[in-house]
Amino acid sequence: MPFLPIADNNPLRLIPFQAVTVGLIAINVLVWLWQSQLGEESLWRLWLGFGVIPAVLGGEVAMPAELYQVPAWATLVTSLFLHSSFWHLGGNMLFLWVFGDNVEDATGHLKFLALYLANGVAGGLATCALDPGSTTPGIGASGAIAGVLGAYLMLHPRRRMLVLIMRVLPLRLHVGFVLGFWILYQIGGAFLVNGEPENDVAWWAHVGGFLAGMLLIVPLRHRDVPLFDREIESKE
pLDDT tens over the chain, length 236 residues: 678 999 998 999 999 999 999 999 999 999 999 999 999 999 999 999 999 999 999 999 999 999 999 999 999 999 999 999 999 999 999 999 999 999 999 999 999 999 999 999 999 999 999 999 999 999 999 999 999 999 999 999 999 999 998 778 899 999 999 999 999 999 999 888 765 555 678 899 999 999 999 999 999 999 999 999 887 654 54
CA atoms of 134 and 120, how far apart (whole Å): 18
Instruction: Give the pLDDT score at 78.
Output: 98
CA atoms of 50 and 67, how far apart (whole Å): 9
The three-state DSSP-derived secondary structure of 176-188 is HHHHHHHHHHHHH
Q: Which domains are seen in the chain, by residue range? A: 3-194+201-235 (1.20.1540.10)
β 3-8/169-174 pair status: unpaired
